[in-house]
Structure 1
Amino acid sequence: MMFRSFVAAVLLFVASATTCFAYSDEIEWLRNQSFKACQNYYVWRLIDNYFPDARWDSGWSDEGDYIVNIRGGMSFKGQNVKALLQFTIDPKRGKFDMNALEFNGHPQSKEMRVELIKAMCQDVR
């Protein structure tokens, strides 16, 4: 009887823990898209390769776009940085854009965003 209670408790814990790590539908959608500059790989593949500790979170903006933030440590151009990539998903268009990139809390230019995507695509393993 005690063994059954233990198994039930473990199963309940595992079920509740796995639901905590589920991504929203919008994050899942973004993860399975590709950048125009790198159509051979899904976004998740590039992110996982560059950010071993990537954390994804999301929510709605005041403008009606869905925002997805990805935070994690990475090495870029020989420097270790804490990066934030921010994407918007326009549900009406069914498209996404990387609208922000920060290294150690400092906003980066659009050119740097493009350069990062190219580097991620070239370095995928």
Structure 2
Amino acid sequence: MKTCLVVDDSKVIRKVARHILETLDFTVREAADGREALDACLVAAPDVVLLDWNMPVMSGMDFLRALREADVRPRPRVVFCTTENGMAHIRAAIEAGADEYIMKPFDRDTLESKLQIVGMA
């Protein structure tokens, strides 16, 4: 079964994402910030990370850079999931190593489509 780490400081967003991902046959773990997520990835790399941009302790961008520097293997696919919709934000996320980008709020079809694009659905 595929694994997904949902990283968001909003418990509601984590719950919604968990519900959708479980209907797509993912095993789901959660993290409330980038630091917690990095620690989880160092213990066991997920297949995919659904990542918020703005979080306390460690932002999504800082997490993504730290994940790349830690050279976690196998390398998880990373889908940014955020309200940040400017082209500069999207470009920065992709350049930092994100595989795909999804806007909040999202639904099952949108998330499944993005997971297909990154080869995880």
Structure 1 and Structure 2 fold alike (TM over 0.5): no
Decide which structure has greater strand share.
1
Instruction: Decide which structure has greater helix share.
Output: 2
TM-score with structure 1 length normalisation? 0.30
Q: Which has the higher contact order (CA 8 A, sep 6+)?
A: 2
TM-score (norm 2): 0.30
